[in-house]
Amino acid sequence: TFFFLPFQLFPYFLSVPPNLFHLLTRILSNPITIMPVDTSSSHPSTVCVTGAGGFIASWIVKLLLQKGYFVRGTLRNPEDPKNRHLRELEGAGERLSLYKADLLDFESLKAAIDGCDGVFHTASPVTDDPEQMVEPAVNGTKNVIIAAAEANVHRVVFTSSIGAVYMDPNRGPDDIVDESCWSDLEFCKNTKNWYCYGKAVAEQAAWEVAKEKGVDLVVVNPVLVLGPLLQSTINASIIHILKYLTGSAKTYANSVQAYVHVKDVALAHILVYETPSAAGRYLCAESVLHRGEVVEILAKLFPEYPIPTKCSDEVNPRKKAYKFSNKKLKELGLEFTPAKQCLYDTVKSLQEKGHLPIPTSTQPADSIQIQS
């Protein structure tokens, strides 16, 4: 075997023991190839999604699996048939693990989060009394942040809500709703708007604990979320549309609502997780529509349903849409789905899931019922 040895090293090489000499000759006689580092991809990381069976969370899980992540989903009962859809997602068999966990059981959360690179905290306590939801929501959020801190995760993305942003009686009609806005807690309590109150105090708690524990926290604040259901059950935001299609709502309210597509919300979560420079809050909204505009769109797309045509308030002027900014998410590259498409996708999904019968020409509109 021949190899080139710089003459300066020759005296040292002669003094090498025979066994080491043989090893060195083998190494030096074989060319060494240095492989270039591939910066376009990284080792698949493991992330935890709390409340994985929910409307938004299911979409986050779906998109994470599509991107090659290993996903740990927490559920109160992984064996509940309503969570079956998670195991049917593409890639679930190889890269999805479901953990039985409760937001108020720290050890169960810790078991799911330990070893993860990131956490998507979407879970909220379930209760029939919104006022009783506040304390568990706050304590559950604290538990997730603390468990994430102990696991040294890369980043936590927390699903908050427009409810933590919008409720402020002192905001002027021309003021822009953006990430700097916070709901007025006293106003929420006085009006018994416990949903918005709970969302605001839970998010505040998340920021406080994250700062205390040194956790990199980013928050997404979605407005009312529409779009295709992955789960078999109907969530509250979808009921908002379903009532206009079944005949249960005879009129529409003189009010406005901001809307966003569920896939866009899931994409926003992953985008802020993967973007190193992402920081703070991100308002996730596509447009603000009056209820009258919503029913008009539905009537044009689905004229076969008994969609209301009258407003419940024909005395006061029509409410005007508030102004908002979704600039932060757009700057990260998120392209929002138009509200009309959101409405269309929602109705088609309700039909496909069997929650909304498709009327025939002989079926009276009044006979339409929600299937259980």
Q: In this structure, are residues 157 and 281 in contact, taking their beta carbons and an 8 Å threshold?
A: no
φ/ψ region of 199 (left if φ > 0, alpha if ψ in -120 to 50, else beta) reads: alpha
Among 105, 88, 178, which Cα is nearest to 143's?
A: 105
Contacts of 157 (CB under 8 A, 6+ apart): 118, 119, 120, 121, 217, 218, 219, 220, 269, 272, 273
Query: Distance between CA atoms of 326 and 268, rounded to whole angstroms?
Result: 11
Among 233, 231, 235, 237, which Cα is nearest to 260's?
A: 237
Catalytic residue among 62, 142, 192, 199: 199
Beta-ladder partners of 251 = 310
Active-site residue flag, 199: yes
Instruction: Please list the helix, strand and coil fractions of the chain in percent, rounded to the nearest 5, in that order.
Output: 40, 15, 40
Q: Is 168 exposed, middle or buried (CB count within 10 Å of its CB: 0-12, 13-18, 19+)?
A: middle
Beta-ladder partners of 118 = 47, 155
Q: In this structure, are residues 349 and 229 in contact, taking their beta carbons and an 8 Å threshold?
A: yes
The phi and psi torsions of 78 (rounded to 5 degrees) equal: -60, -20
Beta-ladder partners of 323 = 176
The catalytic residues are 199
